Structure 1
């Protein structure tokens, strides 16, 4: 990879630009393919990978593990993410970063509207090859749990990093958010309520959303808030 004379990676090749750009293109490709009615063979294969061989009605693992997965998927629900957002918002507000707090709330509320709108517009059917181990009420693409967990948790991590102005805190928040997002998304496939491409599309859109929120609203508010 070429570098500038100072040894730094050129601005256009910085991961903060490349990662959301690639994620955005992948989301658009998936959305276009799914909206046109295309299906993916690996969607079916990956769902069955989490099921007992020869008995797709039963998820892999003992009962306690299945319950743990349902607990994990609950962290990506509206209720779970709501309390995480409220906790982060109040923390930023108490620390005097009120514009950051307001920016976080605005970003999350708009993400919820976008998630609902995309589900209605694309109207993909939920998986029908296994019994659902959790209740569902909306269309399948993109996964609301995957999209909103990525949008909310990555935005929280980004805003906390901006508020702290410490690289170690920003990295810790990012790694914690990424771990939770990964587990929440996989739980949706394990429970049979989403195709893997639903989750992948949700992750991609969440990365784009949180990147824009942090780069625009977050940094602008951070500059205006007192140090």
Structure 2
């Protein structure tokens, strides 16, 4: 039995194994956070972290210098539907122009599927927006999971992993992927700072987004092996 397991692991590439672990961890984390979201009262870590982004005794005033609020509004827009659709559409059009319809379709399915999944999850959990602190931007949709956090993870990680496969050099690949992760993290933090999401909403969005992005990446590898999607630069 152990020999068979070792033989199986030896045939599985490390990136594939790592992606599988990310998917499993993301699903586990999301399920755990969903229990937090369904509780009748906010979890202590939700309230403590959210209040940490406000001045003591003044829930309507965020911490930091005066320019910080404007910067967070700008950062949060990177996870908005309008910006993500624009980036995705521009990428798809470019791929069609260079005759890579398979890759274009893969990106469309990844991002559109992520958007659909996010909407379904919000309806399934039905968690209202936090009212612990004042909202610094207007939001009317449900809270769990954070759509900005989830769709940023889906879009930027999918595009980052695609770009990394076309680029040469280990350092360049790492830089592109790190930039995608950093952008995703900053967007999520901005949602908490602006008071429109509980931290558990953002964590759940990251979990679901990373898991979905890795599933799409694994699908891309299968399609590349079957030469449906080209892997050359």
- Quote the residue 2:94 is aligned against: 91
Call closer, same or farther: CA 1:108–1:191 in 2, change over 3 Å: same
CA pair 89-172 structure 1, distance change in 2 beyond 3 A: farther
Report deviation, 1:26.
0.8
CA deviation vs aligned residue, 1:148-193 (integer Å, no higher than 9, x gap): 1001111111222334476444322211110100100000000000
2:229 matched to which residue of 1? 225
RMSD: 2.5
What is the rounded CA distance, in whole Å, between the counterparts of 2:170 and 2:39 in structure 1? 43
1:136 maps onto 2:156 in alignment: no
Give the deviation of 1:28 after TM superposition: 1.4
1:213 and 2:196 equivalent?
A: no
TM-score by length of 2: 0.86
TM-score, with length taken from structure 1: 0.88
* 1:116-155 equivalences in 2 (<5 Å): 116-155=119-158
Q: What SS does structure 2 have at the residue aligned with 1:57?
A: strand
Q: Deviations over 1:38-60 (max 9, x none)?
A: 63101000001010112111011
Aligned length: 222
Kept in 2: contact 1:99–1:224 (CA 8 A): yes
Cα pair distance change 1:70/1:188, threshold 3 Å: same
Given that 1:141 and 1:198 are in contact with CA atoms closer than 8 Å, whether structure 2 keeps it comes out as yes
| 2:78 equivalent among 61, 75, 91 | 75
Extract unaligned runs of 5+ from structure 2. Answer: 1-5
Change (3 A) 1:193 1:117: same
Which residue in the other structure is 2:204 paired with?
A: 201
Q: CA distance change for structure 1 residues 132 and 94 in 2, over 3 Å: closer, same or farther?
A: same
Please say if 1:23 is aligned against 2:23: no
Q: CA deviation at 1:103?
A: 0.8
**Which residue is equivalent to 1:46?**
49
Change over 3 Å in CA distance of 1:38–1:21 after alignment to 2? farther
Between 13-22 and 188-197, report the one with greater CA deviation. 13-22
Compared CA separation, residues 166 and 213, structure 1 to 2 (3 A)? farther
Does residue 1:66 correspond to 2:69, yes or no? Answer: yes
**SS, match of residue 224 in structure 1:** coil
* Cα gap change, 1:96 to 1:86, in 2 (>3 Å): same
